[in-house]
A and B are shown apart, each in its own frame.
Chain A
Amino acid sequence: MSTNLNPLDLVKFDDSNPEARCPCILLLDTSGSMSGAAINELNAGLETFQQEIQRDDSAAVRVEVAVITFGNGVHTAQSFVSAHQFVAPRLTAGGNTPMGEGINLALDQLRQRKDTYKQHGVSYYRPWVFLITDGAPTDEWRSAGQRVQQEENEKAVAFFAVGVEKADMKVLAQISKRQPLRLQGLNFRDMFVWLSQSLTTVSHSQVGQQVPLSSPAGWSIID
């Protein structure tokens, strides 16, 4: 290369394009049965998730996280934030298991989020819902389950279900089109490391790329 001014140094880049977003809702069971070790390990797992997802600069900008809990009603513990702004909430357990209502709220929020992206010309990846439960729904869940199946068929969402301890895996199999996974013991940490890595991979994926997820074998059992 000559030492003369390189004319290509003058090329400027457009700064108006927002980063593509990769939304993920953590849909978490905080019913009474989660009390004690389970909720403590889940909270520790959420802290691990926060650290892991913030490790990759690009994923920290592109991945957006929301947290919805079901147990003592359905609550948005964290509305959508960029992963780099995500602070793991400290959840407490109590009450029944309104999973159907929780699922509907999650799917509603994803729909709204997509509308917001469209309004602002932001491109986005297929959203994820990551459901974790240790029990069975105490509300009407079949219509929510049908909605999950339908939206999964339409590729509107990627819905993952994880059962903890005594979770009713048969119900989860009727809700989630993807095979539900059973957590090994209370190994939330490895599960959240996997989730973070998977979202990071998705948020780096390019046109036409189907993202091969790494095996969840490190933290799950297939019944």
Chain B
Amino acid sequence: MTLVAPPNFRVIAGSVQGTSHLRTRTPCQDAYHFTEIASGELIVALSDGAGSAAYGEEGAQHAVATAVATVAAALDRYRPTTRRAWHVTVQSAFLAAQQAIFALAAQRERAPRDFAATLLLLIFTAEETIGGLVGDCVAVLHHDGTLLSLCPPQRGEYANTTNFVTQPDLRSQIDVRQWAKPVRSAALFSDGLAPLAMNLAQNEPFAPFFEPLFAFLAAANDAAVAGEQLADFLSSDRVNARTDDDKTLVLIQRIAHDNVPIIHATCNDCH
């Protein structure tokens, strides 16, 4: 899966099934979607379908598609300028994602929890980055040589518990954060990669994980090759030795305006 967005951002993403899902023949339950809108903002969503949900992958697909479309439509009408306004915009995207899953569940005559999924939503503007999280996906921002994790992953008491957009108390679980500076690059990933990429207790990105990835992204001049390389990396033995969960990684880089974007692509073939 190789995607390079038009003018302002370069995006390369990979999503591969975990070895435990291969064993149990469950599909990859991660999904992502992104779009760069005409006014220049990049909107990216990542979701991890719950392992216990029979249709977690479908819940994840609906969540990312709905969240991105909701923000894109909102920004088309109105440009938030205050923290409060961004908060409302992000919150409405999560609530729309929940409604989309509820509608799907009703149509299929299943319980919403059968479509349970987490959701991470990022909006990159020229001035700042806004993030919203329910669950345990991670967004790492790269700014001025430092790395930071925007929203702390939400974990329950136990290792296998977190929050999902299908929860009745969704509104109170949405963690909205704002980073009031433009970022140079960013990485969004599902929890399967978190133990490799982060000090989990401190919510601290592990720089030797990200630096080569951002260098790789900056040097990528063939989107197809870069995407294959990323997928190969995600399904490599050394990654699988450390995690048996699904793994999705979305790499984002702001393209300097004097650079010509390498390839124009859309997210039609996203999960």
Contacts and interface: CB of A to CB of B under 8 A. Distances in A.
Given A8-B212, A10-B212, A17-B200, A207 B229 contact: no
B260 interface: no
A7 B191 CA distance: 23
Chain A residues touching B, majority SS: loop
Contacts of A222: none
A20 B245 CA distance: 14
Contact of A7 (B158, B161, B206, B215): B215
Given A7-B212, A207-B162, A123 B51 contact: no
A204 B244 CA distance: 8
A8 B233 contact: yes
Most chain-B Cβ atoms within 10 A of its Cβ — which of A6, A10, A126, A209? A209
Contacts of B200: 17, 121, 123
A205 interface: yes
Range of interface residues on chain B?
35 or more
B71 interface: no
A206 B199 contact: no
B93 interface: no
A16 interface: yes
A206 B20 contact: yes
Given A13-B196, A14-B195, A123-B200, 12 more contacts: A12-B212, A16-B206, A17-B198, A17-B201, A125-B158, A155-B157, A204-B20, A206-B192, A207-B50, A207-B159, A207-B162, A208-B162
B160 A206 contact: yes
Contacts of A124: 158-159
Interface of B: 18, 20, 48, 50-53, 56, 116, 118, 135-136, 155, 157-162, 164, 191-192, 195-202, 206, 208-209, 212-213, 215-216, 219, 228-230, 232-233, 238, 242, 244-245
A206 B118 CA distance: 13
Contacts of B233: 6, 8, 11
14 contacts: A1-B229, A8-B213, A8-B232, A10-B212, A11-B213, A13-B209, A14-B197, A14-B198, A17-B200, A121-B200, A123-B200, A125-B158, A155-B157, A207-B245
Interface in A155-212: 155, 204-211
Query: Which 7 residue pairs spanning A and B have beta carbons closest together?
Result: A121-B201, A208-B50, A209-B51, A14-B206, A12-B208, A10-B212, A20-B159
B212 A205 contact: no
B52 A209 contact: yes
Most chain-A Cβ atoms within 10 A of its Cβ — which of B18, B135, B161, B202? B161
A208 B209 contact: no
Contact of A207 (B51, B198, B208): B51
Contacts of B208: 11-12
B52 A17 contact: no
B199 A208 contact: no
Interface in A2-37: 6-8, 10-14, 16-17, 20
A187 B233 CA distance: 47
Most chain-A Cβ atoms within 10 A of its Cβ — which of B20, B155, B206, B244? B206
Contact of B199 (A16, A20, A207, A209): A16
Contacts of B158: 123-126
A208 B196 contact: no
B155 A208 contact: no
Most chain-A Cβ atoms within 10 A of its Cβ — which of B164, B192, B229? B229
Most chain-B Cβ atoms within 10 A of its Cβ — which of A17, A125, A205, A210? A17
Given A11-B233, A13-B242, A208 B159 contact: no
Nearest to B216: A7
Nearest to B21: A206
A10 B162 CA distance: 31
A8 B52 contact: no
B191 A207 contact: yes
A208 B155 CA distance: 10
B30 to A, nearest CB: 12
